[in-house]
Amino acid sequence: MSALSGTPTVAGRRLRAAERFEMRPVRHSGPPSVRLTRRGRLVVTLFLLLILTVASVFLAARSAATGEPGADTATRTVVVARGDTLWDIASGVADPGETREMVHRIETLNALPGPELVEGQELAVPLQ
């Protein structure tokens, strides 16, 4: 027979069948830790981005407008000339001391992002 045999040995001694399949207790040092691989972190990140996108679509899809019609406001149209400012236009229509409120009303009525005007622009100005 050859020197190699199919029987396992330890330190030159042949192991019995019971020793080969002996069960040993496993020692745990504490609760198991979770480790994410690079692919796992990518999947978690993409999942969270998907959740945030879906949530923002549902939250932003609602309209801020109501079903109630707004109050009718009598207006006239003013064409902005060179050098005109919103303050000048508002002070020409507003009562004394109410220019600031009129500027705000003109901005709101025309959906202006700010007080900047362009020459030739048409503005709806409320009548007093």
pLDDT tens figures, 62-82: 666 666 776 777 888 999 999
Structure confidence at residue 80 (pLDDT): 92
The pLDDT-based confidence of 115 (bands split at 50, 70, 90) is confident
Of 10-14, 36-40, 110-114, the one with minimum mean pLDDT is: 10-14
pTM over 0.75: no
Tokens of 31: 């609760």
Cβ–Cβ under 8 Å, residues 102 and 126: yes
Non-local (6+) Cβ contacts of 94 within 8 A are 101, 102, 128
**Three-class SS of residue 5?**
coil
Tell me the average pLDDT across 102-124.
89
Cβ–Cβ under 8 Å, residues 128 and 105: no
The parent domain of residue 107 ranges over: 86-126
Tokens of 26: 């496993």
* Residue at 115 is within a domain: yes
Q: What total of structural domains would you count in the chain?
A: 1
The full DSSP string for 71-99 is PP--EEEEEPPTT--HHHHHHHHSPTT-H
Distance in angstroms (rounded) separating the CA atoms of residues 108 and 105: 5
Cβ–Cβ under 8 Å, residues 97 and 45: no
* Residue at 22 is within a domain: no
Of 12-26, 40-54, 101-115, the one with minimum mean pLDDT is: 12-26
* Residue at 111 is within a domain: yes
pLDDT tens figures, 26-61: 676 777 777 889 999 999 999 999 999 998 888 776
Structure confidence at residue 64 (pLDDT): 63
Mean pLDDT of the chain: 81
* Residue at 47 is within a domain: no
* Residue at 92 is within a domain: yes
Tokens of 58: 């549902």
* Residue at 94 is within a domain: yes
* Residue at 107 is within a domain: yes
* Residue at 12 is within a domain: no
**Which helix or strand (DSSP H or E) is residue 43 part of?**
helix 38-60
